[in-house]
Amino acid sequence: MRQGNFTIIKNEKVANNTYFIEFAGENPEFSSPGQFFNISLPEHFLRRPFSVCTFSGSTFSAYYKTVGKGTSLLSSLSVGTHLDVLSGLGNGFNIKNAGARPVLVGGGTGASPLFGLAKALTDADITPVAVLGFATAADAFLISQFEDLGIELIVATDDGSLGICGNAVSALPTDYSYVYSCGPLPMMRALHLASKTEGQYSLEARLGCGFGACMGCSIETKNGPRRVCKDGPVFYSEDLLWQTLV
Ligand SMILES: Cc1cc2nc3c(=O)[nH]c(=O)nc-3n(C[C@H](O)[C@H](O)[C@H](O)COP(=O)(O)OP(=O)(O)OC[C@H]3O[C@@H](n4cnc5c(N)ncnc54)[C@H](O)[C@@H]3O)c2cc1C
Ligand code: FES
């Protein structure tokens, strides 16, 4: 984890209520896709967490949806604004379990960390298939970036306005070696029930400290209580007590 002052270098609308934000600054500390960063916003006591999409030695990005006061304020901030950010938080996706053809299943903004994961997999000469689900075509984002990776991409929308009509789980391919997922909990629960393999799932919780100190984000797992912010947000499906997750 590293606390630093980072500068917004991009903050633009890419879809319905959805923004792409990129920061630059010294040594953001990410080591794997699926980790997150936590932004301190003016006049907001609690930081706001976002999964990292892409990262380099001096930049990192995310896609976020405006759902309340904090994200609305974030969307109004201009390029050049400096913010206090905790980078490199949590445990991200482990690509060692991927096998030859992992499937990446994203719902809504869950597509964002999966794009970073898709890049990490292709860099490691593993070709995943991605399934992205959105409510409607106007909500879809990252489509061309996934296509540019040269991997198979299946898009599903609830109303059929783009790609297959249905949800991401209904659009799963028949053959895959492992599952990686990020999205709404009901989608991931249905995916876990439908999937033929184990997998890694990125969970969300309301966070307090965001770095493991307050236990405010604890969930019960088969191995005892675990903190979403520190032990996750990515968890192995076989460790989760799915019926207890809310
Ligand atoms: C590890 C982690 C990674 C995340 N990554 C992303 C991301 O990549 N992109 C993205 O758009 N969002 C992401 N989120 C969710 C994001 O942090 C919240 O949407 C944001 O903090 C809401 O702030 P707000 O002030 O706008 O909303 P608030 O005014 O605080 O809340 C508005 C509404 O959103 C709900 N809400 C707020 N935070 C959460 C949460 N953490 N989980 C579920 N519901 C919530 C509230 O219950 C309320 O209904 C992530 C959350 C976590 C914990
Ligand atoms: S939010 Fe404090 S331990 Fe997770």
Q: Tens digit of pLDDT for each residue in 75-113?
A: 999 999 999 999 999 999 999 999 999 999 999 999 999
Q: Cite the beta strand spans of the chain per DSSP E.
A: 2-15, 18-24, 36-40, 48-51, 59-65, 82-89, 102-107, 129-134, 152-157, 164-165, 178-182, 199-202, 218-221, 224-227, 234-236
- Expressed in angstroms and rounded, the spacing between residue 209 Cα and the centre of ligand 2 is 5
**What string of DSSP letters covers 203-225?**
-----SSSSSSS-TTEEEETTEE
Give the CATH architecture of domain 95-202.
Answer: 3-Layer(aba) Sandwich (3.40)
Cβ–ligand 2 contact at 217 (below 6 Å): yes
Q: What is the mean pLDDT of residues 186-204?
A: 97
Q: How many CB atoms lie within 10 A of CB 219?
A: 18
pLDDT at 25: 97
- In the chain, the amino acid numbered 238 is E
Q: Tens digit of pLDDT for each residue in 34-68?
A: 999 999 999 999 999 999 999 999 999 999 999 99
- Expressed in angstroms and rounded, the spacing between residue 183 Cα and the centre of ligand 2 is 20
The ligand with the least distance to the CA atom of 232 is 1
* SS3 category, 154: strand
Q: In the structure, which protein residues have their CB atom closer than 6 angstroms to any atom of ligand 1? A: 36, 48-51, 62-65, 67-71, 109, 112, 204-207, 233
pLDDT at 229: 98
pLDDT at 173: 97
Cβ–ligand 2 contact at 192 (below 6 Å): no
pLDDT at 20: 98
Q: Ligand 1, from 30, 37, 71, 134: best to mutate by most atoms within 8 Å of Cβ?
A: 71
pLDDT at 42: 94
- Expressed in angstroms and rounded, the spacing between residue 10 Cα and the centre of ligand 1 is 20
pLDDT at 195: 96
Confidence of residue 70 (pLDDT cuts 50, 70, 90): very high
pLDDT at 74: 98
Cβ–ligand 2 contact at 215 (below 6 Å): yes
β-bridge partners, 130: 104, 153
Confidence of residue 220 (pLDDT cuts 50, 70, 90): very high
Q: What is the mean pLDDT of residues 150-156?
A: 98
Residue owning tokens 């770095």? 211
pLDDT at 201: 98
Extents of the domains making up the chain:
2-89, 95-202
Q: Average pLDDT over the chain, rounded to whole?
A: 97
CATH number for 2-89 (one of 2.40.30.10, 3.90.850.10, 1.20.140.10, 3.40.50.300): it is: 2.40.30.10
Q: What is the mean pLDDT of residues 111-122?
A: 98
Q: What is the mean pLDDT of residues 152-175?
A: 97
pTM, 2 dp: 0.96
Token output for 203: 């969970």
